[in-house]
Amino acid sequence: MTYNPSRRLFLGGSLAASAAGATGLITPAGLAAAQPMQSPKIMYGPTPGVAKLNANENPYGPSDMALKAIAEASSTGGAYYAYRAGMYLRDMLAESNGLKPENVSITAGSSLILAFAAFAATSKGKILGPDLFWDTTSMAPVRQGGPELVRVPNKADLSIDLDAIYNAIDDDIAMVHICNPNNPTGKLLDPKALREFCIKASKKTLVLVDEAYNELIDDGPKHSMIPLINEGHNIIVARTFSKIYGLAGMRVGYMLGSEENMEFINKYGLGGYSINQAGLAAAIASYNDEAFKDFSRQKVKEGRDIIMDAVKANGLSALPSTTNFVFVNLGDDGDANAFRKAMEAQDVLIRGQYRTYQQWSRVSTGRIEDVKKYAAAVPKALDEMYKAIKA
């Protein structure tokens, strides 16, 4: 399933070219003959027949409008740096959130600006977060020898314990990292409780809320902490075009915060300079495409129902999810890595174990036919998992 560029293809091409050169046949026709005629099997998406349900993408994107914009921007703008389109998207995001352009920083995927925020924070102190959340970017400084992430246990139902996190804030904490809805649990915090937490915690330290999945939930604006930025609280919010907009491969994300916070975080990166014309065009064309967003939410709900039915039919349980992935409890003996492997053997890609949460397995909603493939593969994968556990 991994891509191996064919050495023979390239070797064949260069041998053909040198043979043509040796006979003095470097004419346009000769050149054409010297090029490998077969297109290399570059894979831009999943291998056909494989259900890719491991990265919470929206395979129904890019929308038709985004695809049109990508083609146009690539042909008219591909040769040029994307400064103007970047400024356009930044202004658009600022205006729609009632903020100034200086409050917005756009990068090639939100991972980048989230990592910059993590590096900026750890230049001052430590990052505090729950035990279980999407910690990839806040772990980036740790991987470089920076301070350890301070983790607070999730509640028994795996939700984020805001009170315990608040109580863990001390003078060493430079940033609190909350992901809402949380990945991998799919759980959403009560908006009033989160708002109150953000207001009081941000009096002590910077609070980051990663809202990557906000547009996928019902009533997204009610759950967003973006208004707190306008109210002057020490809060930054990350958003992405990778999820509901179906543009994970186009790499566009952004962060909103006070001018001071954005300036400090931007020192750790190159800001909008990282995004390309096609990605910007896709984001600009998709941002207000309500029909596509409604359609995507509908597909996510359909997919989630199929997953939940399969979970129940196989005697398992799952956390109720508000978004495009489900955290499945494989039972006390469950082994998420063995289950993942058994699923992969049936061409279904899902996530393996998170940290110490061995019995929990995350599956994304995706194309309905892919989710059906997951549902059909569960019984055999469970059998294989139990065999692996016993062995």
Query: Does 361 interact with ligand PLP (rule: CB under 6 A)?
Result: no
User: Count residues contacting ligand PLP (CB under 6 A)?
Assistant: 13
247 to 276: interface string for ligand PLP, x by CB under 6 A: -x----x-----------------------
Parallel/antiparallel/unpaired status of strands 235-240 and 51-52: unpaired
Sole binder of ligand PLP in the list 242, 261, 266, 323 (CB under 6 A): 242
H or E, element range at 210: strand 206-210
Q: Which stretch binds ligand PLP (CB under 6 A): 109-117, 214-222, 342-350, 357-365?
A: 109-117
Query: Does 135 interact with ligand PLP (rule: CB under 6 A)?
Result: no
Parallel/antiparallel/unpaired status of strands 206-210 and 173-179: parallel
Of residues 85 and 212, the one with the C-beta less far from ligand PLP:
212
Q: Answer yes or no: are the C-beta atoms of 303 and 154 closer than 8 Å.
A: no
Sole binder of ligand PLP in the list 56, 122, 286, 322 (CB under 6 A): 56
Minimum gap (Å) between residue 240 Cβ and ligand PLP: 3
Minimum gap (Å) between residue 320 Cβ and ligand PLP: 18
H or E, element range at 151: strand 150-152
**Following DSSP, what letter does each residue of 4-64 receive, concatenated?**
---HHHHHHHHHHHHHHHHTT--SHHHHHHHS--SPP---SSPPTT-EE-SS---TT-S-H
Query: Does 62 interact with ligand PLP (rule: CB under 6 A)?
Result: no
Minimum gap (Å) between residue 178 Cβ and ligand PLP: 10
H or E, element range at 166: helix 162-168
For 286, what's the count of Cα atoms within 13 Å in the CB-facing half-sphere?
A: 32
Residue nearest to ligand PLP (CB): 109
1 to 40: interface string for ligand PLP, x by CB under 6 A: ----------------------------------------
178 to 207: interface string for ligand PLP, x by CB under 6 A: -x---x------------------------
Q: How far apart are CA 88 and CA 284, in angstroms?
A: 8
Query: Does 210 interact with ligand PLP (rule: CB under 6 A)?
Result: yes
Sole binder of ligand PLP in the list 240, 258, 266, 365 (CB under 6 A): 240
Q: How far apart are CA 354 and CA 351, in angstroms?
A: 8
Minimum gap (Å) between residue 56 Cβ and ligand PLP: 5
Of residues 183 and 286, the one with the C-beta less far from ligand PLP:
183
Q: Describe the chain by its helix, strand, coil percentages, rounded to 5.
A: 45, 15, 40
Q: How far apart are CA 11 and CA 28, in angstroms?
A: 21
Query: Does 110 interact with ligand PLP (rule: CB under 6 A)?
Result: yes
Of residues 210 and 335, the one with the C-beta less far from ligand PLP:
210
Q: Which stretch binds ligand PLP (CB under 6 A): 140-148, 198-206, 240-248, 268-276?
A: 240-248
Distances (CA, A) of 39 to 180, 208, 296: 43, 45, 33
Q: How far apart are CA 15 and CA 304, in angstroms?
A: 52
Query: Does 134 interact with ligand PLP (rule: CB under 6 A)?
Result: yes
Q: Apex CA 117: angle with CA 114 and CA 267, to 5°? A: 120
Beta-carbon contacts of residue 286 (< 8 Å; ≥ 6 apart)? 61, 62, 63, 65, 66, 241, 245, 246, 247, 292
Of residues 242 and 261, the one with the C-beta less far from ligand PLP:
242
Q: Which of 37, 43, 36, 35 is nearest to 4 (CA)?
A: 43
Sole binder of ligand PLP in the list 212, 350, 363, 375 (CB under 6 A): 212
Query: Does 111 interact with ligand PLP (rule: CB under 6 A)?
Result: yes
Q: How far apart are CA 191 and CA 185, in angstroms?
A: 17
Binding site for ligand PLP (CB under 6 A): 56, 109-111, 134, 179, 183, 210, 212, 240, 242, 248, 253
